[in-house]
Structure 1
């Protein structure tokens, strides 16, 4: 587990960050530019020394101001992938990959060259130089070089920020494979919510140098008081579902979770596979009775859990659906007319669904949508 609590004065800006991250999976530091995210991972890497606090990974202490411990960068064994790949231009892909591996004693090498090449699809690129690679290919090589340095932890500072939509769609599945197949915790810095929703297991929401919330992505996204930080346009719930079945004749897939079932355009994942949905608050309608005679078919039985104002004329309503939650953004007049209050039984109508592209990487990174399914 990564255990971090640091404080640092940066001019007029004060960083005071505390969170823990599990040993496996992706912890996403999410927030607007200038919120302090990169300063946090630079402190983890040893590139910036905090004024006070501690940084630990498991039983290893990297920094502790009270005990006067500050392990040098080169001894922390932390992989770092920057926004730009920063490959050595005079070296081939093979030499770039082997650079980190050669710096680790043979007896400490638990990650081998060939599996990393296979994992990242780099076999056909080994004899090429960086100038002949696309942006996505360069980042894959950067991932490989960081992995072969045998890191305890992998840091990624907005690794897709410089990529266009097509290259971003290309790189996403490889980060998923790193998350799922390598037993290395990853800390990802991002201000793109679609990246966080798709990749992260834990979300740390940072604003003005402070942690506003931390926990599972669905839990953080489901809080009504955080929409101003996550972004009003992106307000909504995140659901983790399972592919139940496909309906090829209609081009649809049925997804199940503890709150019911949702129908989406057919996705390229087998029954039993996990799928994460981001359902925008603006795409959820509340009714008191199941509708009839309409084309919309995604309806879920729900209970009002919380109501909060979200604008001069709007309100956000948090709906409990099984053990999960949806958020609906409706007018304050509708809240009054429907007499919505905690405990009220309602029906949630889902107009549109945004979900992660399929893991094959063949889809673009634009969210696919289904309207009136």
Structure 2
């Protein structure tokens, strides 16, 4: 199942010219504010008619300006998850879910309500009204309502932006399950590198209304030439397996034969995880350091050194665990004589990796 998007639109001094395909799984539209993410998702939803373009999903052409096709939003079979839950306050959770199911084309085509309720862990909430729910609970119900409309495409427009860090941590695992358990494309708008690193199976990087790159989260986030969210948000994505949990509160992971230690990760041994390592949390050394408190030391080869506009530089280091990015000063890069092909070691403090940067790897 594939979503195809090719649109052009101009307004208010901004010009959008973007084309991409989105397979099943989570395709993240990733870029800074003003890069065109919301314009694209609104065009796909039918809330905005672009100057020209074509949008199709599962053989259904939703928009084709050349052939004068422009389906109304309610005919596009889309489940839309907004920044806020937008639940009906006078209806219970059960009734809000039923409202979503009412839009399914036929009863036989509707998602199994009990499966959706179980997946989102909202069984205990069914008789409550939205006013009695937390922000995270409201978003879970909103996700369920979208799924019960039996959509052929799910749109999520920065669905975690209105939540605090604790509520985000509550919701992210449910989006991981959504990614792995439903068979329709999910178009996910975000400017958060952490969210994209955890959730995306495909990343479409946008800048000034143009698609500048498309690939996996590891490919896009690990490329210092792209940086769709800017150098301050730079960070690479590693995939690792849980090896064991130690009694001192550390979890030992294995990535490419390299041991990594993190604060306790609540996942069973053998589980596959994605880990985002922020570039500003990585130090570099030419020789393997001794006598440090840091437990994670990854040997590697410098792929590239990319100077910034200011005093900083971004170094891409290819290690057995995967590519790691380090944000250091240009002076440090010169002092260490770092250049393509040089050997170096990445040093990562165990406690520097936030819990929100560790999540389940996509099912394969």
TM-score w.r.t. structure 1 length? Answer: 0.89
Cα distance in 2, alignment partners of residues 323 and 60 from structure 1 = 42
Q: 2:333 aligns with which of 335, 359, 363?
A: 335
Q: Deviations over 1:226-275 (max 9, x none)?
A: 33x42322222111111122222x32222122262211122111111122
* Equivalent residue number for residue 59 of structure 1: 59
Q: Deviations over 1:306-353 (max 9, x none)?
A: 111124333221111137211122232332333222112222222354
Cα distance in 2, alignment partners of residues 125 and 296 from structure 1 = 44
Q: Comparing 143-152 with 43-52, which one deviates more in the overlay?
A: 43-52
* Equivalent residue number for residue 229 of structure 2: 230
Q: Gapped runs of 5+ residues in structure 1?
A: 361-373
SS of the counterpart of 2:218? helix
Q: Comparing 91-100 with 63-72, which one deviates more in the overlay?
A: 63-72
Deviation at 1:102, TM superposition (A): 2.3
* Equivalent residue number for residue 17 of structure 1: 18
Decide whether aligned partners of structure 1 residues 9 and 350 sit closer, same or farther in structure 2, where only a CA change above 3 A counts: same
Q: Is the 8 A contact 1:205 1:214 kept in 2?
A: yes
Q: 2:305 aligns with which of 301, 304, 307?
A: 307
* Equivalent residue number for residue 8 of structure 2: 7
Tell me whether 1:242 sits opposite 2:215 in the alignment.
Answer: no
Q: Deviations over 1:107-130 (max 9, x none)?
A: 542411111111112222222222
Cα distance in 2, alignment partners of residues 257 and 134 from structure 1 = 37
SS of the counterpart of 1:8? strand
Calculate the aligned-residue CA RMSD, in Å: 2.1
Q: Gapped runs of 5+ residues in structure 2?
A: none
TM-score w.r.t. structure 2 length? Answer: 0.91
Deviation at 1:79, TM superposition (A): 0.5
* Equivalent residue number for residue 256 of structure 2: 258
Cα distance in 2, alignment partners of residues 123 and 246 from structure 1 = 31
* Equivalent residue number for residue 193 of structure 1: 193
- Where does structure 1 differ by over 6 angstroms across 4 or more consecutive aligned residues? none
Q: 1:297 aligns with which of 281, 295, 298?
A: 295
* Equivalent residue number for residue 177 of structure 1: 177
Q: Is the 8 A contact 2:302 2:340 kept in 1?
A: yes
* Equivalent residue number for residue 363 of structure 1: none
Tell me whether 1:211 sits opposite 2:211 in the alignment.
Answer: yes
